[in-house]
């Protein structure tokens, strides 16, 4: 415990709805760079209760700050007694490679929650291992939480949440997503990232495609997906119908809700985040 404690540096702290939003910096052995994450600790965690954790994975171009500042999740988390942990979306820092064309959908801010196997990405871009293993180890060692976990995310982070949950049966009590990249092997964002990070072997790609994984799933997991129907990326990048078909094939317990008038923004997330927290809370305490 004391050895791990030396790795965490508190960057900021703000009281919110009786709990605390805090940012921390630490050196990640998995990613080979300094990383930052945010944690919201509800008031129950301040009085000796070990609370369950929702891990939130953000989308392209985001950091740990976008969700914590824009989603308005703290009130519901405080009422339900659920901690929220939001990591960054990629490794960062000197020596961490970026897209030489400075595109937003590859490199910094676009880790896609996979373990890269191709140079120059493979040295640092191991967001899958960071989210599944290193980050929860730190959280459970240093904060008043228990081992009940849920995972959620938006867009690229929705892809990450779904694939990580599907690849790790039994590790999470529930999974949800807003506007996820549901079938990345068949959309430009996914194809670009997977070719760069994983190479040309599309069998590796399919291991990080939520629709493929869900169609082959042998174990069920409570799953909630919300999709805005005025989302500019809906047809080209997100493809929720592929996820729906995968659930039909395997009998997977997917609830996919479509919402007229909503787009890809945090206005959409803020409108339904309380319902997602309530969904997770039911399974975290059952």
Q: Which residues are catalytic?
A: 155, 231, 264
- Indicate the SS3 state at residue 182: coil
20, 27, 31: which is closest to 3 by C-alpha?
27
Backbone angles phi, psi at 232, to 5 degrees: -65, -20
CA dihedral 55, 143, 115, 93 (to 10 degrees): 110
Q: How far is CA 178 from CA 11, 61, 83, 147, 227, in A?
A: 28, 16, 19, 24, 6
CA distance 280 to 146: 15
CA distance 165 to 280: 13
Q: In the chain, how long is the greatest CA-to-CA distance?
A: 51
Listed in sequence order, the DSSP H helices in the chain are: 2-5, 65-70, 74-80, 127-129, 135-142, 156-167, 188-198, 202-206, 210-215, 240-250, 266-284
């Amino acid at each position: 415990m004391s050895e791990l404690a030396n790795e965490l540096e508190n960057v900021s702290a703000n009281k919110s709805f009786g709990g605390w939003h805090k940012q921390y910096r630490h050196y990640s052995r998995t990613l080979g760079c300094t990383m930052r994450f945010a944690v919201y600790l509800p008031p129950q965690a301040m009085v000796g209760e070990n609370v369950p954790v929702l891990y939130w994975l953000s989308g392209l171009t985001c950091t740990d700050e976008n969700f914590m500042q824009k989603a308005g999740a703290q009130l519901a988390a405080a009422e339900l007694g659920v901690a929220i942990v939001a990591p960054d979306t990629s490794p960062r820092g000197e020596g961490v490679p970026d897209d030489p064309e400075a595109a937003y959908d590859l490199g910094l801010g676009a880790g896609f929650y996979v373990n890269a196997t191709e140079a120059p990405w493979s040295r640092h871009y191991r967001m899958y291992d960071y989210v599944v293993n290193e980050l929860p180890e730190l959280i459970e060692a240093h904060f008043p939480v228990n081992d009940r976990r849920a995972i959620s995310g938006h867009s690229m982070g929705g892809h990450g949440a779904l694939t990580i949950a599907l690849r790790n049966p039994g590790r999470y009590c529930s999974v949800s997503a807003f506007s996820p990249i549901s079938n990345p092997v068949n959309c430009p964002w996914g194809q670009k990232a997977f070719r760069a990070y994983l190479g040309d072997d599309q069998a590796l790609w399919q291991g990080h495609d939520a629709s493929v994984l869900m169609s082959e799933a042998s174990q069920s997991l409570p799953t909630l997906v919300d999709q805005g129907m005025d989302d500019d990326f809906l047809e080209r990048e997100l493809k929720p119908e592929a996820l729906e078909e995968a659930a039909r094939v395997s009998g997977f317990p997917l609830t996919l809700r479509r919402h007229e008038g909503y787009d890809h923004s945090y206005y959409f997330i803020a409108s339904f985040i309380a319902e997602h927290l309530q969904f997770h809370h039911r399974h975290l305490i059952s």
